[in-house]
């Protein structure tokens, strides 16, 4: 895979915001770190295998594309983000999507769900734009024993087990969605443990899978030091296959597939 380009000036459109700074930092890491691209390619392969076929006229859409990591792995998927970047197709607010009703076949979220302060409001928007039978496929941090240790101890974002989720009390069309929020346990709590059953009214849970990936954890991701060379990736894959026998102990990722109720 070729090294993706980085804008020459390296200055985000919203340089003063945390979101813009993080996006450009991640883009530089993505360009400079072949191992990261290889590991994320495997994560996107999990997503790609769960998408429904896109009928004529429908679109696949990624919410929160950030540094544009999906472009090599999800052909034809519309990349969106909160602010404009050279590698983004459309600027979108997850709480006020501009896609017509029932026009989207698949919604993809990679490390985005845990940044949604108001998941109920987002799910309402997702249900509006998805066609009947359309899917939302998301990958999130897994709250396994290893996951809690790594994400809780080595990641700068909080686990958020104490966060109370509720629908927003205001109209979110003018909401500043770039305001920082993170609760890494959100998918674990809301989509696997189903702490708020009413949240998923109108949705069918197709799959919840725990994915073991020491290959990802030891890659350092976008913010930590890489602990092994690209040449050792096959060895880490072997470790993942072995440790995959105990997903609640060792899983790094939680894969969730939701389908909008109704027939396509």
The tens digit of pLDDT for each residue in 67-96 reads 999 988 999 999 999 888 888 999 999 999
Span 182-213, pLDDT tens digits: 999 999 999 999 999 999 999 999 999 999 99
* CA dist 186 → 110, 179, 183 (Å): 13, 17, 6
Cα dihedral 222/223/225/230 (nearest 10): 0
In the chain, count H helices and then E strands.
8, 7
pTM above 0.85, yes or no: yes
**Domain boundary assignment for the chain:** 18-260
What is the phi/psi pair of residue 131, to 5°?
Answer: -75, 155
Of the chain, the percentage scoring pLDDT greater than 90 comes to: 77
Tokens, residue 92 = 């979108």
Residue 122 region by backbone torsions, left for phi larger than 0, else alpha for psi between -120 and 50, else beta: alpha
Which residues, 6 or more positions from 188, have their beta carbon under 8 angstroms from its beta carbon?
140, 141, 142, 143, 254
Tokens, residue 7 = 């804008």
Fold assignment, 18-260: Rossmann fold (3.40.50)
């Amino acid at each position: 895979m070729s090294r993706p380009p980085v804008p020459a000036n390296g200055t985000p459109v919203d340089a003063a915001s945390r979101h813009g700074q993080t996006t450009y930092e991640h883009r530089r890491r993505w360009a400079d770190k072949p191992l990261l691209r290889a590991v994320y390619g495997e994560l996107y392969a999990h997503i790609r295998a769960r998408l429904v076929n896109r009928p004529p006229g429908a679109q696949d859409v990624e919410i929160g594309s950030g540094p544009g990591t999906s472009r090599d792995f999800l052909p034809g998927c519309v990349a969106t983000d909160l602010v404009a970047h050279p590698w983004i197709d459309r600027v979108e607010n997850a709480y006020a999507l501009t896609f017509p009703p029932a026009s989207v076949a698949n919604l993809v979220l990679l490390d985005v769900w845990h940044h949604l302060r108001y998941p109920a409001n987002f799910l309402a928007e997702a249900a509006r734009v998805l066609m009947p039978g359309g899917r939302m496929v998301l990958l999130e941090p897994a709250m396994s024993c290893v996951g809690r240790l790594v994400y809780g101890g080595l990641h700068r974002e909080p686990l958020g087990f104490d966060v109370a989720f509720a629908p927003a009390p205001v109209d979110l069309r003018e909401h500043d969605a770039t305001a920082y929020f993170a609760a890494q346990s959100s998918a674990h709590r809301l989509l696997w443990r189903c702490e708020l059953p009413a949240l998923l009214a109108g949705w069918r849970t197709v799959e919840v899978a725990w994915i073991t990936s020491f290959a990802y954890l030891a890659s350092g991701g976008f913010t930590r030091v890489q602990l092994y060379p690209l040449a050792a990736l096959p060895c880490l894959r072997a470790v993942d296959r072995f440790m995959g026998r105990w997903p609640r102990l060792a899983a790094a990722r939680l894969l969730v597939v939701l389908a909008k109720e109704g027939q396509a």
